[in-house]
């Protein structure tokens, strides 16, 4: 399914005039230098091909991306050469490894020369004859002292790709050479089998090209489909024959996926923990992809009046999303789909994670675009909870959620590797959130103490929203949902659920302490919250005895005392529970948060009222 979808997407990209994508038999590679050669094979000059690209606020020099003959996949220290584009060890017979490994470059230069003799020997082209002449004349033993090579020697030995230039044109772009290369590719020995992707009987790819720019993966590329041990083979078939994919399908899916992972993709990839996420619509329009990206990253929305030349067709859709998010309102899905031209293509989201030399699929979700957006919006809706402060975001991003699972005092700020992928899968499939997310949030609530300097708050807006959303999804389809009445956006004063009432009670007892003695180094929340949440019977009698002293000292002590008594009445004289289950602890946290958020809301209303009176 994944390979088929990517193969179809390659066809879409190939037909898109705004997208430059390699044709079959070629690949995109970064090229550092060109060797300018004469008709008789003399090296005239070495031309740097680096280009400046923005990296954050700075410009960085990188090799120039070019379409070159498809490069081979090397296993370990394989001396197998590429055609007309390779590093200095192959093209010039020199390498930084020559001192430690005598013969390292000589073996590779010989391989490079043999390949080009085989392909170019009978080609009627001045460029082909010039390349062959160069390879015959070039002497690796004196290459480092060559007048054209010496000024660039240090950078040449860094391992960047080198191509040939003849009479102002790149040799690999010569029509006769291209024809010879394509004939060579078609005539290579390959076993013909039925392709698992297309169903056609065709030459099978033995090795699949690597995927680059996967976070944490090898810079040289990692394999999505591959077998390298006897234990992975079936019926005596090794490597690519064990899962036969034709050469064309292999090229198509890897080229499409590398495009999605590259800077050439205007919508880019996302990263959650160790998972690299790519996404695409089965459509010639890029608008759906842009809209999806901004839906998952509401913090990165463009200015309302921003013009983005590369996404003209997406501008209206992005502004529709931006307007809803900035105003804190639900997204008008009908308007969004209208802005996107009414098209509802199938949409794909693929999460990839590094696994040594291979790639693991964290998740693969596909649905019609509208349904995918509905799932994302359902996620935001389930997270909705009363804000403590008006400037807090209505749409809580995935990254904000995962950030709350990590201690802000630790050096390692990355969430658990598997957690990000599991959360994204839950969002996109509209499924219950992973228990690991809930457990991580509860763990942080238990372990953290309020610290204004480090911006740490034991129970904050995001953590409370996650607790509510997790329980809401877990119990949504159960007929015996015991928490239905408290899994609300705001305070439910009528609820008599013991855990919820106890959470509210703890908030009032904390307020009594603050009203009586102000801020202290260790409040009852710092000392007792974790125990009160898990084992109420062992803590609340102590807190109630302390509260009587606070009531007498507080300016509005009698009012607070009445609120405490009202909550105790909701418990209907039943003893405090000896322990609360993990889900009940979440309800306790919600009760506490809802109560405090209600106070903030009332304070804001009172402040607005007094300002209006003064005006």
> Cβ contacts of residue 48 below 8 Å, gap of 6+?
32, 33, 152, 155
Mean pLDDT of the chain, nearest integer: 88
Percentage above 90 pLDDT, the chain: 58
- Mean pLDDT for 404-418 is 85
Of 84 and 526, the structure prediction assigns the larger pLDDT to 84
pLDDT of residue 445: 94
pLDDT category at 409 given cuts 50, 70, 90 is confident
Q: Contact 115/81 with Cβ under 8 angstroms? A: yes
Of 78 and 5, the structure prediction assigns the larger pLDDT to 5
Q: Which of 177-191, 384-398, 566-580 has the lowest average pLDDT?
A: 177-191
Ordered DSSP codes for 473-516: HHHTT-TT-TTTTT-SSS--TT---HHHHHHHHHHHHHHHHHHH
According to DSSP, the residues that pair with 554 across neighbouring strands are: none
User: The tokens of 425 are what?
Assistant: 């899968």
Cα–Cα distances in Å, from 534 out to 316, 502, 525, 591?
Answer: 50, 11, 13, 14
Reported as a single tens digit per residue, the pLDDT across 230-257 is 777 777 777 778 888 998 999 999 999 9
pLDDT of residue 73: 79
Tell me the residue length of the chain: 615
- The rounded distance, in Å, linking the Cα atoms of 54 and 304 is 24
Whole-model pTM?
Answer: 0.82
User: The tokens of 449 are what?
Assistant: 């103490």
pLDDT of residue 314: 66
pLDDT category at 306 given cuts 50, 70, 90 is very low
Q: Which of 188-197, 366-375, 420-429, 528-537 has the lowest average pLDDT?
A: 188-197
Reported as a single tens digit per residue, the pLDDT across 498-523 is 999 999 999 999 999 988 888 777 78
pLDDT of residue 128: 96
Q: Which of 226-230, 282-286, 459-463, 478-482 has the lowest average pLDDT?
A: 226-230
Percentage above 70 pLDDT, the chain: 94
- The rounded distance, in Å, linking the Cα atoms of 359 and 337 is 34
- The rounded distance, in Å, linking the Cα atoms of 485 and 186 is 68
pLDDT category at 78 given cuts 50, 70, 90 is low
pLDDT of residue 243: 85
pLDDT at 305 over 50: no
pLDDT of residue 604: 60
Of 615 and 592, the structure prediction assigns the larger pLDDT to 592
């Amino acid at each position: 399914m994944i390979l088929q979808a990517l193969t179809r997407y390659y066809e879409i990209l190939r037909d898109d005039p705004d997208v430059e994508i390699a044709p079959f038999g070629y690949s995109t590679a970064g090229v550092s230098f060109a060797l300018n050669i004469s008709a008789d094979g003399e090296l005239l000059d070495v031309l740097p091909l680096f280009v400046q690209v923005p990296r954050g606020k700075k410009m960085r020099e990188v090799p120039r991306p070019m379409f070159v003959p498809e490069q081979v996949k090397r296993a370990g220290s394989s001396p197998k050469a590429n055609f007309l584009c390779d590093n200095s060890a192959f093209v010039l017979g020199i390498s930084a490894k020559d001192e430690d490994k005598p013969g390292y470059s000589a073996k590779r230069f010989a391989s490079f020369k043999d390949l080009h003799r085989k392909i170019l020997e009978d080609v009627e082209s001045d460029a082909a004859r010039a390349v062959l002449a160069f390879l015959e004349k070039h002497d690796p033993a004196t290459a480092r002292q060559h007048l054209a090579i010496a000024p660039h020697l240090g950078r040449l030995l860094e391992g960047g790709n080198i191509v040939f230039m003849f009479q102002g044109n790149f040799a690999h772009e010569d029509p006769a050479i291209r024809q010879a290369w394509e004939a060579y590719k078609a005539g290579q020995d390959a076993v013909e089998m039925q392709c698992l992707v297309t169903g056609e009987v065709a030459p099978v790819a033995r090795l699949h090209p690597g995927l680059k720019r996967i976070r944490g993966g090898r810079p040289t590329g990692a394999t999505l489909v591959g077998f390298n041990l006897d234990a992975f083979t079936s019926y005596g078939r090794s490597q690519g024959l064990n899962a036969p994919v034709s050469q064309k399908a292999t090229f198509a899916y890897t080229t499409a996926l590398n495009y999605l992972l590259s800077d050439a993709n205007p919508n880019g990839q996302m990263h959650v923990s160790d998972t690299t996420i790519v996404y695409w619509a089965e459509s010639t329009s890029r608008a759906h992809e842009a809209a999806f990206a901004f839906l998952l990253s509401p913090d990165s929305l463009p200015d309302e009046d921003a013009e983005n030349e590369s996404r003209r067709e997406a501008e209206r859709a992005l502004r529709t999303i931006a307007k809803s998010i900035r105003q804190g309102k639900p997204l008008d899905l009908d308007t969004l789909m209208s802005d996107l031209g009414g098209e509802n293509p199938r949409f794909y989201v693929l999460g990839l994670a590094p696994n040594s030399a291979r790639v693991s699929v964290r998740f693969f979700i596909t649905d019609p675009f509208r349904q995918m957006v509905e799932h994302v919006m359902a996620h935001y809706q389930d997270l909705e909870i009363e804000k403590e402060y008006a400037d807090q975001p209505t749409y809580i991003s995935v990254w904000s959620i995962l950030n709350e699972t990590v201690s802000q005092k630790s050096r390692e700020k990355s969430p658990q590797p598997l957690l990000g992928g599991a959360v994204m899968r839950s969002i996109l499939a509209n499924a219950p959130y992973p228990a690991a997310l809930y457990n991580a949030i509860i763990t942080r609530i238990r372990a953290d103490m309020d610290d204004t300097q480090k911006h740490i708050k034991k129970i904050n807006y995001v953590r409370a929203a996650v607790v509510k959303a997790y329980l809401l999804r877990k119990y949504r389809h159960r007929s015996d949902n015991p928490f239905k009445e408290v899994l609300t956006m705001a305070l439910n004063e009528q609820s008599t659920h013991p855990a919820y009432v106890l959470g509210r009670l703890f908030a009032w007892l904390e307020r009594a302490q603050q009203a009586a003695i102000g801020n202290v180094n260790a409040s009852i929340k710092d000392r007792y919250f974790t125990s009160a949440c898990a084992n109420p019977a062992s803590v609340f009698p102590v807190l109630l005895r302390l509260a009587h002293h606070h009531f007498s000292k507080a300016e509005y002590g009698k009012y607070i005392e009445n609120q405490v008594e009202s909550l105790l009445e909701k418990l209907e004289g039943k003893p405090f529970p000896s322990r609360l289950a993990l889900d009940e602890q979440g309800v306790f946290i919600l009760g506490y948060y809802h109560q405090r958020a209600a106070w903030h809301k009332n304070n804001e209303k009172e402040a607005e009222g007094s300002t209006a009176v003064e005006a």
